[in-house]
Amino acid sequence: MHASLFRLLTIVAATLWASVGFATTIIKPTSAPDFESQYLPDGRFAEDSRNGVGLAIDLETGDPAPGVYPLHNSNWEDQWLTAVVDTDTWITYDLGAEYVVSGFHQWNYNEGGGGGRGANAVELTFSTTSALAGFGSSHSTTFGQASGLSHAGETQSLPDYVVARWVRLDINSNHGGNHTGLAEIRFLAPDPGILAATPADDATITITGIESFQTTTLTDAIELENIGGPDTAIAITGFTINGPDALQFDLSDYADTILASGESVEFDVEFTSLSSSVNYNAVLTIHTSLGDVTYNLFATAVPEPSTLALCGLAGLGLAWQSRRRRLNDE
């Protein structure tokens, strides 16, 4: 493409990009730590598929997603291409932190003269463990073929939100040619939601009147709800219980979840009295993508009936012994 024509298209794309409303948020991968190969002789590196080198306007993490995306050029040195003759390959991206991921925008391989080497059938998997393990939540799709001219790519949404730090693309076929590549990719995050917690953050959850060595469950003791607007999400990512009696408490039905707008989740608080102690204390912290929600856990236990009976007999015995001692003294 002539340089003057590319500059003109760049100005048009930038003008449209600046004038269109935004929806979700950009996630720019921080690196491409794992891939099958890259074409070294003329610099078609894996990093070039995420560093923005070929974009008219780079999109950084935290930027609002544009209604019209900037153009990617057709220069081969600004794109990733496999070194080996292979149409079945992979590449993994590190997002730099855990995010709720709702979709992605990709610019397929776009070497001048045609986009036949671009990815076609692709499976995306997601991990919070490492770049090499823990991948799940598979999503199969196809990437559209690039034209060989500067192009704006395509946006795709995931059927369900996922929490991920690493995203792997298994490319199972291309649009033709003896190598496979990708020009650029950005992932998308929904806007943060608004968390409503019942009871409120830092409240005390109390369990009373439990017999020693017994277990009880407060059903639906905690409710977390996303009261944010459309296209928002909150990830519930784990919990910890600390304090002197942490082992006596549990969230018995806990599971990681993502709350879309208007969705809620409820958790049961379980308490087990493992001794004849009376008072138990612990602190429960539920981890979310918006921060932590904390509850003070307090329980009181009473001796079981057999223990009470024994205590009563012991009391009677002490009273009789005391009376007998007084009579003897007299």
CATH 2.60.120.260 in the chain is located at: 3-189
Nearest of 70, 67, 31, 64 to residue 49 by alpha carbon: 31
Architecture of domain 195-306: Sandwich (2.60)
**pLDDT at site 323:** 47
pLDDT by residue (tens digit) across 62-95?
A: 999 999 999 999 999 999 999 977 788 999 999 9
More confidently predicted of 255 and 114: 255
Contact between residue 164 and residue 125 where contact means Cβ atoms under 8 Å apart? no
Residue 44, Ramachandran bin (φ over 0: left; ψ between -120 and 50: alpha; else beta): beta
**pLDDT at site 156:** 97
Q: Does the pLDDT at position 17 exceed 50?
A: no
More confidently predicted of 166 and 311: 166
Q: Give burial (CB, 10 Å; 0-12/13-18/19+) of 257.
A: middle
Q: Does the pLDDT at position 3 exceed 50?
A: no
Strands ordered across the beta sheet of 264-272: 195-198, 215-226, 264-272, 249-251
Computed over every residue of the chain, the mean pLDDT equals 86
Burial letters 69-90, b for 16+ CB under 10 A, else e: bbbbbbbbebbbbbeeeebebb
Q: How far is CA 227 from CA 203, 235, 237, 268, in A?
A: 20, 13, 18, 21
Confidence of residue 326 (pLDDT cuts 50, 70, 90): low
**pLDDT at site 219:** 96
Nearest of 51, 116, 121, 112 to residue 89 by alpha carbon: 121
CA–CA–CA angle 242, 244, 245 (5° rounding): 85
**pLDDT at site 315:** 47
**pLDDT at site 167:** 98
CATH 2.60.40.10 in the chain is located at: 195-306
Please enumerate in sequence order all residues whose Cβ is within 8 A of that of 198, keeping only pairs 6 or more positions apart, or say none: 222, 223, 224, 225
pLDDT by residue (tens digit) across 193-241?
A: 999 999 999 999 999 888 888 999 999 999 999 999 998 999 999 999 9
Q: Which residues are bridge partners to 81 per DSSP?
A: 181
Contact between residue 156 and residue 103 where contact means Cβ atoms under 8 Å apart? yes
Q: Does the pLDDT at position 296 exceed 90?
A: yes
**pLDDT at site 55:** 98
Contact between residue 85 and residue 27 where contact means Cβ atoms under 8 Å apart? no
Give the Cα separation of 146 and 108 in Å (integer). Answer: 6
CA dihedral 95→96→101→105, nearest 10 degrees, is -30
**pLDDT at site 304:** 58
Give this prediction's pTM. Answer: 0.79
pLDDT by residue (tens digit) across 144-183?
A: 999 899 999 999 999 999 999 999 999 999 999 889 999 9
Confidence of residue 8 (pLDDT cuts 50, 70, 90): very low
> Out of 55-64, 125-134, 274-283, which region has the weakest mean confidence (pLDDT)?
274-283
CA–CA–CA angle 177, 151, 50 (5° rounding): 75
Give the Cα separation of 233 and 188 in Å (integer). Answer: 12
Give the Cα separation of 169 and 89 in Å (integer). Answer: 8
Q: How far is CA 173 from CA 72, 118, 143, in A?
A: 22, 9, 10
Q: Does the pLDDT at position 40 exceed 70?
A: yes
Give the Cα separation of 217 and 215 in Å (integer). Answer: 7
More confidently predicted of 42 and 279: 279
Strands annotated E in 20-153:
25-27, 31-35, 80-81, 89-108, 121-127, 136-142
**pLDDT at site 212:** 82
Architecture of domain 3-189: Sandwich (2.60)
Q: Does the pLDDT at position 290 exceed 70?
A: yes
